[in-house]
A and B are shown apart, each in its own frame.
Chain A
Amino acid sequence: MRVLDWIVLVASLVSIIAYGLYRARGSNTVDRYLLAGKSMPWYAMALSIMATQASAITFISTTGQSYVDGMRFVQFYFGLPLAMIVIAAVVVPVFHHAQVYTAYEYLEKRFDAKTRALGSLIFLAQRGLSAGLTIYAPALVLSVIMGWPERTTTICVGATVVTYTMLGGIKAVTWSDVQQMGIILGGLIISLITVFVLLPSQVGFSDAVYLAGAAGRLNAVTTNFDWNDRFNIWSGFFGGTFLFLSYFGCDQSQVQRYLTGKSIAESRLSLLFNAVAKIPMQFFILFIGAMVFVFYLFVQPPVIFQQAELKRISTSGNFAPLAEQYQQAFDRRRQAALALVEAHHRVDPVAEEQQKAAYRAAQKDIDRTRAATAKLVEATGGEKGFSDTNYIFLSFVTKYLPSGIVGLVIAVILAATMSASSGEINSLATVSVIDIYQRYVKRDGSDHHYLVASRWATLFWGAYAVAFAGYAHRLGSLIVAVNKVGSLFYGSLLGCFVLAFAFPRVRGTATFIGMLVGEAVILLTANYTDISWLWYNGIGCIVVMATALLITALQDGAASATPGKPLPR
């Protein structure tokens, strides 16, 4: 990074923190610290929800995903508007009228203390794991690309997040998120414009789109059904709806955002803004990845983008033939791409089909060579299941983007890390204090006591996340599986909340047993089947509901057989 990059990076990060803390003045009661005194406007909540959801690794991976697999990842979000409508219509008014700080506090009002405790513990386990990885994953990528030490990066990011979250509470988190989202969107737009500027002069915008499409990189909708395929229209609508219902309806890191609204209408609008804006935003990010693919049609990319691994295997005797094959395939693809554009311009369908076939054949050779190189990485002691997807976009940024823009893109990545991490730490602290400490340790403390406890809990979870990030490199494939880990838990929580909202006859014990059975079934499904993790939420939810409804029916039958006996809890 050059001096201008450092200036842009530091100025962006300092302004985020200063603005967040400035807007968070007066967070001196528990209500203001955890729920902003229910004073937030819809647009701040909307951008905060969006920023919390978009972690750095999502942003880095999404562009890389599009580079290697096309845009079909966008289908993952098709269920989001459906989930948002259900949550806005049903969940938001219930949570607001219940006058709760956390989603799990509502479970005790509706069911009993043990169901609340189980819900809280599931959240703390799942989100606690995620908090460390949220900080670690971008630090890993930045260490490989920029040469920054992992430990220093995680400590700096963690300390920054903890400082403004601990001092300013949810208001600081939300207003920082607003600015972080601005930087993220600005950085993305500038990145896309820069990619187009860097394309060869004979390749215009429509040509770039045409070449990306011909290589299968614009496959936004795929209609084939496959249980094992994560991204098609069916898994997007059905699996995605369940996943987002779980995430936005049962995960405190999201629930807490819309509970800060000054009215139910403001909370609903914040969610519905996401229903409208999220899919186009993901489409835009994926489109950037597809355009980076087009850029690399004319500038030879490395055979794998993870430079440290590339350097390591380059001494292997098996690498030289692969590098030779790759060079030849790249030359053929570049020639075919230019010939294809030319045939397209002069409207020559026969030549166009011929060049398209040559272009696709060369692309297949490149894909095969990259796969063989990834296998070589594994065979020579590298990570199992090696993938360089997370390194593609940042490699492009650091090598080809002009001074200043590199700093901005790094600021985008750190902003995304901080927004996701602050939301997680803030919600973990809230659940720890409200659902555990206040409920089981000290029930009669003053408002000031719980305010201080919330600040300490924030510090604890921040330190935990940084400490966990320090050991995350030993977890290897767990980083890849972080979404899968989330899906292992969300289904049970979703089933519990669906029972709470839609089945008034179901009681606490039936729900509690249902959650345990649901969790067991999800774990068995994950361990003994090839079903994609996107379906776990739906499966878990249905099992929890079926079990609880069956137990309720048996309880009702037993109660009606014994006149005068009340329904068991």
Chain B
Amino acid sequence: MHPRDVPDDPPPFLGTWRRVYIGILIYLFVLVTGFYLFTLAYR
């Protein structure tokens, strides 16, 4: 009684998972920088 194995497909965008992960890291950097600037602007 074991669940079946499933395929390992490439991502639907950016070609490779490595590029998707880098994209998310860049997104996180932009988001945190944006929040920091938001904090400074309304402090």
- B15 at interface by CB-CB < 8 Å: no
CB distance from A553 to the nearest CB of B (A): 32
List CB contacts (< 8 Å) of B11-36 with chain A.
11-12, 17, 20-21, 24-25, 27-28, 31-32, 35-36
Known contacts A85-B21, A212-B42: A264-B7 contact under CB 8 Å = yes
Task: Give B4's nearest chain A residue, CB to CB.
Answer: A38
Please classify the interface of chain A as helix (H, G, I), strand (E, B), loop, or mixed, using the class held by over half of its residues: helix
Q: Which residues of A contact B35 (CB under 8 A)?
A: 74, 220-221, 283
Partner of B32, one of A96, A209, A221, A265: A221
Per-residue 0/1 for A77-93: is the Cβ within 8 Å of any B Cβ (1 yes, 0 no)?
Answer: 01001101100110001
A342 CB-CB contact with B under 8 Å? no
Alpha-carbon separation in the docked complex, A60 to B27 (Å)? 28
B15 nearest CB across to chain A (Å): 13
Q: Which residues of B contact A216 (CB under 8 A)?
A: 43
- Which residues of chain A have C-beta atoms less than 8 A from B28's C-beta? 78, 81-82, 275, 279
In the assembled complex, the Cα of A214 lies from the Cα of B41 at a distance in Å of 10
Please classify how large the interface on chain A is, using the bins under 10, 10 to 19, 20 to 34, 35 or more.
35 or more
- Interface residue count on the B side (C-beta < 8 Å): 28
> Which of A99, A222, A223 touches B5 (beta carbons < 8 Å)?
A99
Residues of A within 8 A of B11 (CB): 265, 268-269
Q: In the bound complex, do residue B27 and residue A268 qualify as a contact, i.e. CB atoms below 8 Å apart?
A: no
Additional pairs, 9, CB under 8 Å, beyond known A78-B32, A82-B28, A264-B8: A30-B1, A96-B6, A100-B2, A101-B3, A209-B42, A218-B38, A221-B35, A264-B9, A265-B8
Q: Give me the interface of A with B, judged by CB distance under 8 Å.
A: 30-31, 35, 38, 74, 78, 81-82, 84-85, 88-89, 93, 96-97, 99-101, 209-210, 212-214, 216, 218-223, 233, 259, 261-265, 268-269, 272, 275-276, 279-280, 283, 438, 447, 450
Would you give 18 A-B contacts (Cβ < 8 Å), ordered by A? Answer: A82-B25, A85-B24, A88-B17, A96-B6, A99-B4, A210-B42, A213-B41, A213-B42, A219-B39, A220-B35, A221-B38, A221-B39, A233-B32, A263-B6, A263-B7, A263-B9, A268-B17, A275-B24
